[in-house]
A and B are shown apart, each in its own frame.
Chain A
Amino acid sequence: MIEIRNLHKSFGGVEVLKDVSLTVAPSSTTVVIGPSGSGKSTLLRCCNCLEIADRGEILIGGRSIIKDGRPLPDREMNAVRAETGMVFQSFNLFPHMTTVENVMRAPMVVRGTPKAEAHDLALDLLRKVGLEEKADVYPSTLSGGQKQRAAIARALAMRPTVMLFDEPTSALDPELVGEVLQVMKALADEGMTMMVVTHEMGFAREVADTVVVMAEGRLVESGPPERVFSAPAQERTRAFLRALVDGHLAGARPLPTPPDALAALPDDH
């Protein structure tokens, strides 16, 4: 479904993607993990040509969307983007539209879907992500988790064949992460082809068909989650997983008991 061949990308002389190749099979979920700055978000954004890769090729549904720095012409690219749903870390809902308008606008504008039909479709999708009752409010009144679910519904309104998720839960309060991951899991279960950049290892373990580990712009390891997590072949992967575990432990460790300040005072105080 998504085929990335020998992709290279530099930002002002700094090479952030170095010869990355990757295939996402139809109806499968690929989760991309790796330390920050490893190029995983850039890789995902290249799949939508929000970033233009310098070299290499990306095919979506068998169709080449960019080859050696030359993307499809604008008009065709718009059609490809319409069928490639994208979910952003910062939601990027349109603040001047209500939730339901956010979802129904693009089908109307891009595909000429009649308003009533677009509205029905939007309500269906909002129901699907559990936001039906928020249809007529503005995004500013939604919680982070609700915003992200609305953003997912907005992407689904174009009936995409592929969904790209760029750290969809990284901007959320911890207690709101679950509701978004649940929606994503339901999508994966329905057979959506998904590519997910995330730090949620639980999600990767449970939902991913393939886990891809990136570091310093290279794809260092990929495989089924059981193998990558339990028996990583590469030292880079082990180091990354160890750092994650250490981070969790550091957060969970109880604070050392502070010394009793009063006890240090002289008796006559």
Chain B
Amino acid sequence: MTLNFDPVWAGLPELLKGAAVTIEVTAAALLLSAVLGLAVGIARLNPRRRVIYGLASGYVAFIRGTPLLVQLFLLFFGLPQFGILLPALLCGVLGLGIYSGSYVSEVVRGAIQSIEGGQMEAARSLGMSYRQAMREVILPQAFRRMLPPLGNETIALIKNSALVSLLTIDDVMREGQRIISTSFRALEVYLVVALIYFVLTNAASHLLRIAERRLSVGRG
């Protein structure tokens, strides 16, 4: 058997364009996931606020308990039955963001709960409201503890984004499949596609490591 990468090189501009789409989708989903994760993570801190806690917990349970692919299809193929026809790209970003947000919320909650209770007490004893104490004292400390697990989430998100190719989004995966459909060089194309994902995930984890180091300088 011989390897022939010629069709891959011929299709490289499309693959790179697809990689850019993958980055865009992932970045937008990451943003959504961070906002959602923060809100849901905080909502799940206090079980006594029943309604908020219940809604947030239901969201986490449902999203973590069902396949991402099913969630994406629900958005893309399911919602149109109610006359809600979202653009494919939006479905992809929403689906990935909502999915990742449920995991991020657990990261957020864990990090906040790992901050010693005395920090909140000290902030409140100075007259800060709960919200001010969270913003000034708890979250800045919790954020540093969130970074390593958030790195994992980011990597998972990049890889999971390959599923949006099934929603007709022209990401790197779909561009690869397009090349295969004309060249039948599956092994070569998927190897290069894998390499592109590998570069992306490594770049992301490298960036996060730099951020981690920056944040820990001079602080104990």
A residues with a Cβ closer than 8 A to B are 48, 50, 74-75, 78-79, 81-86, 88, 90, 92-96, 105-106, 109-111, 138-141, 151, 154-155, 157-158
Residue of B nearest to A141 (CB): B220
How far, in whole Å, are A75 and B131 apart by their CA atoms in the complex?
12
Residue of B nearest to A108 (CB): B136
Query: Are the C-beta atoms of A140 and B129 separated by less than 8 Å?
Result: no
How far, in whole Å, are A3 and B136 apart by their CA atoms in the complex?
32
Size of interface on B: residues with Cβ below 8 Å to A:
22
How far, in whole Å, are A139 and B141 apart by their CA atoms in the complex?
14
Q: Which residues of A contact B123 (CB under 8 A)?
A: 94, 106
B residues with a Cβ closer than 8 A to A are 116, 118-119, 121-130, 132, 136-137, 140-141, 144, 218-220
How far, in whole Å, are A110 and B130 apart by their CA atoms in the complex?
12
How far, in whole Å, are A92 and B126 apart by their CA atoms in the complex?
12
Looking at chain B's contact residues, the main secondary structure is helix
Query: Are the C-beta atoms of B118 and A81 separated by less than 8 Å?
Result: no
Q: What are 8 residue pairs bridging A and B, where the CB atoms are less than 8 Å apart in the complex? A: A81-B125, A83-B127, A88-B121, A90-B118, A93-B122, A106-B126, A139-B220, A155-B125
Contact of A105 among B125, B136, B144, B220 (CB under 8 A): B136
Please give the distance in Å from A200's CB to the nearest CB on chain B. 21
Query: Are the C-beta atoms of A109 and B219 separated by less than 8 Å?
Result: no
Task: Using A109-B136, A110-B132, A158-B127 as known contacts, say yes or no to A96 and B219 having CB atoms under 8 A apart.
Answer: yes
Query: Are the C-beta atoms of A106 and B128 separated by less than 8 Å?
Result: yes
Query: Are the C-beta atoms of A110 and B121 separated by less than 8 Å?
Result: no
Q: Which residues of B contact A109 (CB under 8 A)?
A: 128, 132, 136
Please give the distance in Å from B200's CB to the nearest CB on chain A. 31
How far, in whole Å, are A96 and B138 apart by their CA atoms in the complex?
10
How far, in whole Å, are A93 and B137 apart by their CA atoms in the complex?
10
Please give the distance in Å from A117's CB to the nearest CB on chain B. 17
Q: Which residues of A contact B141 (CB under 8 A)?
A: 94-96
Query: Are the C-beta atoms of A48 and B137 separated by less than 8 Å?
Result: no
Please give the distance in Å from B142's CB to the nearest CB on chain A. 10
Please give the distance in Å from A158's CB to the nearest CB on chain B. 6
Contact of B128 among A78, A85, A88, A151 (CB under 8 A): A78
Q: Which residues of A contact B129 (CB under 8 A)?
A: 74-75, 78
Query: Are the C-beta atoms of A82 and B126 separated by less than 8 Å?
Result: yes
